[in-house]
Structure 1
Amino acid sequence: MEHTIQCLCGAVKMKLIGEPMQCVYCHCDDCQLVHGGAYLPAAMYLTSQAQIVDGDPVRWRLKTTERATCRQCGTRMFAEPAGLGVRSITASLLPEGVFRPAFHMQCQHAVLPIQDELPHFKQYPAIFGGSDERMPW
């Protein structure tokens, strides 16, 4: 399966190859500040599966996570959490049906507990090198 996604103005295009490793809700304080929300829905792809095919996004970091944003319209395209080898694609850019969340992560920074059936990991789950410690919600 292959999808092409783009920023809101179409200046930056990306090719996504295959299925995401995981779809998550990230509650880290970095995502909260950058996206202006309590958490960010994101699809995690291996870096090799998420390729820029057109345009030249601005790369920057607020804290530790490098991010890519369209120079023209400001759309937040993806983040690259240090040491994970993944690109975290902003879920609102994905075609319908691709985002299927599996868990919440970095819940130690959560604004409020989210009550749903998904696991809520305090930091990163084991799949991303974490401890699998869960929040006691």
Structure 2
Amino acid sequence: MSDPSYRGTCFCGAVEIRVTGTPKAMGYCHCASCRAWSAAPVNAFSLWSPESVSVTKGAEHVGEFHKTPQSHRQFCRVCGGHILAQHPPWNLVDVYSAVIPDFEHRPALHVNYQEKVLSVRDGLPKFKDLPKDFGGSGEMLPE
């Protein structure tokens, strides 16, 4: 049986991506950068190995912005729609869950909860910053 594959696009459809297999992690980020980038109070992420993610159409339209060395955010230069973020220090790619509509987002945690502007009571672990494996304190916060 082959690995599942999901198609996603930017806002206008000029850039298409495919993710294959299963993500390494899924959750919600509350950091100020993700909130500003997504224009939302929280950002749903799905983290994939780089070999599981490919641009299948419109690579020439992909722009990139680096606010920090941890996140190389990619977007469509035609419509400005967000596509994904490369995370070189962790060798992972964050494909924003909203970009892959047929993929079922099953979050397991919240990160950067100390920066929240929206409280979420869902029973999931709330990390103050990041888990220790990702260079954070690993400290948990209450809902």
Q: TM-score, normalised by structure 2?
A: 0.85
What corresponds to 1:124 in structure 2?
A: 130
**2:32 equivalent among 29, 33, 38:** 29
Shift of 1:10: 1.5
Residue matched to 2:49: 46
1: distance between equivalents of 2:88 and 2:18?
22
Distance (Å, rounded) in 1 between the aligned partners of 2:105 and 2:134: 18
State the Cα RMSD in Å.
Answer: 1.7
Counterpart residue type for residue 26 of structure 1: C
Change (3 A) 1:97 1:47: closer
Whichever residue aligns with residue 42 of structure 1, its letter is F
Give the unaligned 5+ runs of structure 2.
none
C-alpha displacement of 1:97: 4.7
Paired residues for 1:52-71 under 5 Å: 52-56=55-59, 57-64=62-69, 65-71=71-77
Letter in 1 for 2:11: L
How many matched pairs?
137
Cα–Cα, structure 1 residues 50 and 97, in superposed 2: closer, same or farther, change >3 Å? Answer: closer
What is the identity percentage for the equivalent residue pairs of Structure 1 and Structure 2?
A: 28
Gaps of 5+ in 1: none
Displacement of 1:13: 1.0
1:31-71 deviations in whole A, cap 9, x for unaligned? 01111221101111111111112213101123442100011
Answering whether residue 16 of structure 2 is matched by residue 10 of structure 1, we say no
The answer as to whether partners of 2:45 and 2:95 remain within 8 angstroms in 1 is yes
- Match for residue 104 of structure 1? 110
TM-score by length of 1: 0.89
Partners of 1:108 and 1:6 lie apart in 2 by: 31
Whether the 8 Å contact between 1:30 and 1:63 is mirrored in structure 2 is no
Q: Say which SS state the counterpart of residue 33 (structure 1) adopts.
A: helix
Q: Name the CA distance, whole Å, in 2 between partners of 1:109 and 1:46.
A: 27
